[in-house]
Amino acid sequence: IAPEKLRREPETFLADMYSLAGTLYHSITGHTPFEAPAIDDVILAHLNTPLTPPDKWVSSITGPTSDTIVRAMDKKPAKRYQSYDEFIMALTAARSQLLRSQVAPSSPPKSRRVKPAAAKEAAAPRGWFRRDK
């Protein structure tokens, strides 16, 4: 629950962004953003406790991914991403950085010669586009 909602302040889409980021946090860490034995303590944590960055729970979560989620869950709505497009771009950039770091340079695949009959069969449409006889 977004802090502004708990304080009964006017809500905007930024409260939903906070909740969406909280769901993402839970899905990638296996932990709720704020864990406490009683609901009152969880509510107080949403209002006052700094968020534990996701990469502190799971070491394979990248810093940029963790930073993106933490920003989207900032206690102050003005410090969150100011549009979903901005939030999505930050997540996409974090993902791209992860993918670039995982891809090792490799040699191009060797080409294979395809026999003309096999090439014709492979190029023929299937499924809804061609009735099998």
pLDDT band at 40 (very low <50, low <70, confident <90, very high): very high
Task: Write out the two tokens for 73.
Answer: 């869950």
Tell whether the model's pLDDT for residue 132 goes beyond 50.
Answer: no
The amino acid sitting at 3 is: P
Tens of pLDDT, residue by residue over 63-72, are 999 999 999 9
Count of other CB atoms within 10 angstroms of residue 13:
13
Which range has the worst mean pLDDT, 22-31, 45-54, 80-89, 102-111?
102-111
Query: How much is the pLDDT for 110?
Result: 64
Whether the predicted pLDDT of 129 surpasses 50: no
Reported CATH class of domain 3-129: mainly alpha
- Show Cβ contacts of residue 97 under 8 Å, excluding neighbours closer than 6 positions: 62, 64
Structure confidence at residue 97 (pLDDT): 80
**For the chain, what percentages of helix, strand and coil (3-state, to nearest 5) are there?**
60, 0, 40
pLDDT confidence of residue 96:
85
Is the pLDDT at 17 greater than 80, yes or no?
A: yes
Domain range annotation of the chain: 3-129
Q: What is the rounded CA–CA span in Å between residue 99 and residue 94?
A: 9
